[in-house]
Amino acid sequence: MAPPSLLDTFRVLSSFAPPRTDLRAAPWEAYVDWAIGQGLAPLAAYNLEYRLGGAGAPEWARDRLLSIYQGSVNDNVMKLVNFKRAVDELEGRKLLLVGGASFAESLYPHVGFRPVLEVQVILKRMDVEGFANFLRQSHFVPEEDDLGSGATQVVSDGHTPVLLFSDVLGKSRRAELDGIFERAEPMKVFGASFYRPCLEDVLLLTVLEHARQGYEVPVLSFVDVRELISGEPGMRNLYARPLDVAALHERAVAWRLDRALFASLSIVEALFPEVAERAQAAKPPLRRATRELLQRLLIAPTSELGKMRVIRGGDRLRRLLTGQ
């Protein structure tokens, strides 16, 4: 039997229900550094230590991954608790929590499995200054957008960057943005003013982030998408329901994200066979020539783990995927 490849190792250690597997001969030298850089180390460490009994992994690899897991737990708890304390008493507003801070709370079995680098909030443009001023009471002050995130404003208390986004669909699609707010669901753990986008909307917002970053995103983001489309009930999966595919496709076209949705779902289909059927069913219809172009330029190279990618015409492709 051939030894586990990087892809095999990734699939086992990124699963929420990993199968019993002997990973003794896995490519640990390549996997460990790669997994840390892709945000996968905390979940991998937990799987190795507590679900797979080590799986034959070398001691040095287990120790390194476990140290990242412990650091992720502490860092996530600090960031999320600080933010909750800052916003818990805010009333009379409607703010949308997205990204890692939302997914760690709503998708993953444990808050430490999904690293939270920053807190991302979507809000109406007229609310940006008011919310930023409210956060000043908890010592959050304006900072430069060193991440190149495109946020309208960034504030931080020195530990927890908070990225405030407005007009995320562009100024010409404010009616569509209003729809996201109308469909949003309460996220009471962060107080009376916080909501999370509905399943179809948060999937498209994640795809939008993929496209805007030219698909230079951590593989962890495709784990997020896997869980969003899985429909599997879980202790923390608040998005565990079947996708409304018709609504998803309608909004993808309206937001001009149908190409990007096809690309992201195709990558998830290639990486995670267990959700391939769901990913295939959720793909929007595209012309054959467009599908083939995306497959050659984007889907195939992104699905090949562990390799650096240089996409020729990357800026043009990004504009194509985001409808700009």
The pLDDT tens digits for 231-288 are 877 656 789 899 999 999 999 999 999 999 999 999 999 999 999 999 999 999 999 9
Long-range contacts of 132-137 (CB under 8 A, 24+ apart): 132/164, 134/87, 134/90, 135/86, 135/87, 135/162, 137/86
Q: Which residues contact 149 (CB under 8 A, 6 or more apart)?
A: 163
Closest by Cα among 165, 323, 163 to 251: 323
What does the alpha-carbon distance between residue 299 and residue 308 come to, in Å, rounded to a whole number? 14
pLDDT of residue 77: 93
Q: Which residue positions in the chain have pLDDT lower than 50?
A: 310-312
How remote is the C-alpha of 268 from its chain's centroid? 12
Backbone angles phi, psi at 154, to 5 degrees: -125, 130
